[in-house]
Amino acid sequence: MCGIVGYIGHREAYPIVIEGLKRLEYRGYDSAGIALFDGTDLKVSKTKGKVSDLEERVETQISKSGNLGIGHTRWATHGVPNDVNSHPHVSNSGDLVIIHNGIIENYESLKKELIKRGYTFKSDTDTEVLINLIEEVKTIEGVKLGKAVQIALNQVVGAYAIAVFDKNKPEEVVVARLGSPLAVGIGEDEFFIASDASPFIEYTKNAIYLEDEEMAIIRFHKGIKVRKIKDDSLVDPYIQELQLNLEQIEKGGYEHFMLKEIHEQPKAITDTFRGRLLRDEAIIKMGGIEDNMKKFLNANRIIIVACGTSWHAGLVAEYIFEDLARIPVEVEYASEFRYRNPVITENDVLIAISQSGETADTLAAIKMAKSKGAFVFGVCNVVGSSIARESDAGAYTHAGPEIGVASTKAFTTQITVLSLIALRLARAKGTISSSDFRRYLLEMEMIPEKVEKALESDAHIQEVSEIYKDAANFLYLGRGYNFPVALEGALKLKEISYIHAEGYPAAEMKHGPIALIDENMPIVVIATKAEHYDKVISNIQEIKSRKGKIIGVITEGDTIVRDLADHVIEVPDTIEALSPLLTTIPLQLLSYHIAVMLDKNVDQPRNLAKSVTVE
Ligand code: M6R
């Protein structure tokens, strides 16, 4: 939550910071601000609203010159989104300025102390407390900015990625991280600071990702020094070569990132398979699994922890792991798991699933499980993210950057990775025959093509969306492997169109939700040909008798559900365990089109942020 950007070097900072904030807007978008230093004046402009609102405000408020600048796009934690609570925040003396992503948990006690010492506060934020604490330390101890930041950070409890500078020493920026990501791009005598590398990708391919509890002092003309915040020891930073390119973070002709990402799924799934699914050799090769095969094979059980869409992918995985590999699986919301004193032993394997790799609850669940001796395997999309680094081993989804807040290609690639793992383990355990294994490999290889085919229903889905866009509620039903898909379909609709939607196992409908059904209720039923197909047909009949409107997601060519439903959307046939990779597609498109028709902000839905780094 919150995106931070900074620049120090020979170029004008403003265009770099503003463009960078636009790329990081997925992290938070309720207010934005910028601070520039032009050699004489510190200029700060900030506003409630989006980066485009900030651009307008800057035009009338400050001059855009200066080779030093920091900017922030906010997802409010402490204090409502308004101009005053927006970052950057300036210290009482007017000398120090800060941007911050994270939460200072003990800010109230620190604030009280600072008030006793005569400090005043304009905003309700924890960040204004931090910059004044740094100022207080600097004054009392008579130390330089870097040291003052270090001493102050050793007094705070919480999470942060910060960038701070002193207008009296404008050749230097101090950055630090704990629990929130921070990358420093290294150019030719210039430095870029950002929550991820997207703001500086066209300027440099070299970056340092700070580790937790590290800080860096960046000096124009002099370079960068990285230190441990706790003990001041110097760190030799690893300069990483970035694989990201500009095209990946642009809309590429699509109206929204979400639509682009939905259409990228055939390629994303192919990328997830690359080098892992070797059909000719009839093997699945995954380094993280091969190296730790014993851990998996000897595991009492697998515990999957995740949040939101990633949790839904975990639920799909539960079916496939138990079905094929015969390993008991429990799927947990990371936020519940971490606080309920679960029984964890050294024989447990914990799989953490996260697109961003930064979700605070998932990260905390990992740390807790590790402390109790469990082996932790991460399934992340963002390379080098905190969860990826904290895990004992892992597998990346290789979906490429996902910028739309509503997760799409991350979900299908997570299911892809988890299916590969389940199959690999099933093969190693001997719980799948070699002919079935080959059949799975063959079918998996065809999934990208079948996803492409499922995407061809787009125009028809638009027509269906037009009919139901004004419904107040939606019900999504599915059984077995497609129960989690029903949950995911409902979540997608809720988060981008703000229509209330419930996902339910189809058979559970009669235990309550059936009371909601009348002639105004659209019910999306995933009714593909599967083991419980007949039972789903019975559920459809029950809906029909209560006059509900049925939108069936069916297997290509199925005439039975076609005759019963009000509308059908076809997906290609596949093995049931792989069907979520196809049935998800129409549900993504349905929610997308409804949200567009309702004129909602599809890529940046209200109150949400792409990466949830607060608990
Ligand atoms: O980055 P993560 O996968 O850990 O994020 C988990 C959830 O915050 C995320 O899936 C969220 O539910 C999405 N907005 C769903 O579209």
Are residues 523 and 426 located together in one domain of the fold? no
Q: Which residues contact 466 (CB under 8 A, 6 or more apart)?
A: 593, 597
Mean pLDDT calculated for residue range 335-345: 92
What is residue 567's predicted lDDT score, i.e. its pLDDT?
98
Write out pLDDT tens, residues 163-190: 999 999 999 999 999 989 999 999 999 9
pLDDT at 308 (0 to 100): 97
Q: What residue ranges in 230-357 does DSSP mark as E strands?
A: 234-235, 240-241, 277-278, 283-284, 301-306, 329-333, 348-354
> Ligand 1 centre from 491 Cα, in Å?
10
Note the pLDDT of residue 84. 94
C-alpha span between 321 and 34 (Å, rounded): 49
Domain holding 52: CATH number?
Answer: 3.60.20.10
Whether residues 131 and 212 fall in one domain: yes
Residue 155 has pLDDT above 80, yes or no: yes
Average pLDDT over residues 481-509: 96
Residue nearest to atom 8 of ligand 1 (CA): 308
pLDDT over 90 percentage in the chain: 92
Average the pLDDT over 152-161 and give the result.
96
Domain assignment present for 12: yes
pTM: 0.89
CATH, residue 290: 3.40.50.10490
Q: What is the mean pLDDT of residues 271-276?
A: 97
According to the model, what pLDDT value does residue 243 have?
Answer: 86
User: Please, are residues 14 and 139 in contact by the beta-carbon 8 Å criterion?
Assistant: no
Residues 451 and 478 placed together within one structural domain of the fold: no
- Which of 403, 432, 455 terminates a domain? The answer is 455
Task: Using the mean position of ligand 1's atoms as its centre, give its distance from the Cα of residue 411 in Å.
Answer: 9
Task: Give yes or no for residue 244 having a pLDDT over 90.
Answer: no
Active-site residue, 2 included: yes
Residue 6 near residue 17 (C-beta atoms within 8 A): yes
Q: Are residue 427 and residue 514 in the same domain, yes or no? A: no
Residue-wise pLDDT tens digits, 531-563: 889 999 999 999 999 999 999 999 999 999 999
Q: Which residue among 22, 48, 64, 610 is the active-site one?
A: 610
pLDDT confidence bin for 270, thresholds 50/70/90: very high
Q: Is 222 a known active-site residue? A: no
Q: Which domain holds residue 559?
A: 456-602
* CB-ligand 1 contact for 354 (6 Å cutoff): yes
Ligand 1 atom, smallest distance to 610 CA: 14
Q: What is the CA radius of gyration of the chain?
A: 26
pLDDT band of 78, cuts 50, 70, 90: confident
Asked whether residue 403 falls in the same domain as residue 479, the answer is no
232, 247, 262 - which closes a domain: 247
Dig out the tokens for 167 from the structure.
């207008």
269 and 226, same domain (yes or no): no
pLDDT at 407: 98
Which pLDDT tens digit goes with each residue over 447-485? 999 999 999 999 999 999 999 999 999 999 999 999 999
pLDDT of residue 145: 98
Q: CA-CA distance, 542 to 564, in Å (whole number)?
A: 11
Measured from the CB, is residue 271 less than 6 Å from ligand 1? Answer: no
Overall number of domains in the chain:
3
Q: Which of 2, 167, 295, 450 is catalytic?
A: 2
pLDDT of residue 247: 86
* Res. 75 pLDDT band, cuts 50 70 90: confident
On whether both 142 and 277 belong to a single domain, the answer is: no
Question: Phi/psi at 297 (nearest 5 deg)?
Answer: -70, -30
Report, as an integer, the average pLDDT of 408-425: 98
Is the model's pLDDT at 613 over the cut of 80? Answer: no
Same domain, 285 and 275: yes
- Among the ranges given (230-234, 576-580, 611-615), the one the predictor scored with the smallest mean pLDDT: 611-615
pLDDT mean over 85-101: 97
Average pLDDT, the chain: 95
Confidence of residue 156 (pLDDT cuts 50, 70, 90): very high
Q: What's the pLDDT score for residue 489? A: 98
Judge if 236 and 289 occupy the same domain.
no
Ligand 1 centroid to Cα of residue 399, in Å, is 14
Going by their DSSP bridges, the two strands 183-186 and 206-209 should be labelled as antiparallel
The fraction of the chain above a pLDDT of 70, given in percent, is 100
In a domain, 110, yes or no: yes
Residue 608 lies in a domain: no
